[in-house]
Amino acid sequence: MGAAIVTFGECAQAAGRLADALGLPCAEVELRRFPDGESLVRVPPSPPTAILYRSLDDPNAKLVELVLAAAALRENGARRVLLVAPYLAYMRQDMAFRPGEAVSQRVIGQLLAAHFDALLTVDPHLHRIERLDQAVPDIPAISLSAAPVLASALNDAELLVGPDSESRQWVEAIAAPRRLEVLIGEKQRNGDREVAVTIQGIERAAGRSVVLVDDVISSGMTLVAAAQLLKQAGARSIEVVATHCLASREDIARLHAAGISRIRATDSVPGPLGCLPLTQLLAAALEPQLAAIALR
């Protein structure tokens, strides 16, 4: 096929699973960071198609290293470089809310389009646009939904709750196949870690097994506020499933202290909650892309 997966050390396990599913070799980028913060990137010799795998949590250094790796792969034999970024950063800021703000979605989208021939990601945090290719122009930009993966973790859920209006699309997509009841909260944010949540119809949580569903767990404060309301309403149990978990161990401990018995997320971001593999979802999306390349 003339393709291989190339990854960075922190993503080696997830990238290796994807390589096995596709029957491709997997190699690792050599990375050295100098005391002044600069990065030295060294890539292996590349076949004609290189699939560069890296999630963009903690994105600032990683973005620079991705661009360096893409350039090095082309200089070492790759004619096409595809990016698989299960978590894609900088998609939240899609407009300037105050004078002088950079629109990071547009800037980073254009940066990635300039250095990669295609992009594959999962549940990017898009607000006012419908398609990823509106943010990442001129290349195939594919956004996958983790709904099937999250749905497999619901077990005995009786009620799904989205903690805010932004979570509606994920909650409803997961609930539909199982015809589960859904409640959607409203959020008022007073700061990065100060959140007030209301949930209309919360009385329906009494005596029921409730699962909170979200795309991203950042600090977890929205989920804490929602869990406290559900506990007060008499929920029998409260769990969380999410696509991406960026939370620290301290944040996760705070979620458990709020009454959440179990928290599960996909392996999009390396960390303590990467327990729901995206392997088959990513492989199914990549296979037709690789088949089309092989026919050229």
- The whole-angstrom separation of Cα 289 and Cα 276 is 24
Write the single-letter amino acid at 16: G
Terminal C-alpha separation, the chain:
11
253: DSSP letter: H
- 231 catalytic per annotation: no
The catalytic position among 74, 168, 187, 208 is: 187
Instruction: From 75, 86, 109, 67, select the one nearest 15 (Cα to Cα).
Output: 86
Helix count (H) and strand count (E) of the chain? 8, 15
277: left (phi over 0), alpha (psi -120 to 50) or beta: beta
Write the single-letter amino acid at 126: L
Which residues carry out catalysis? 187
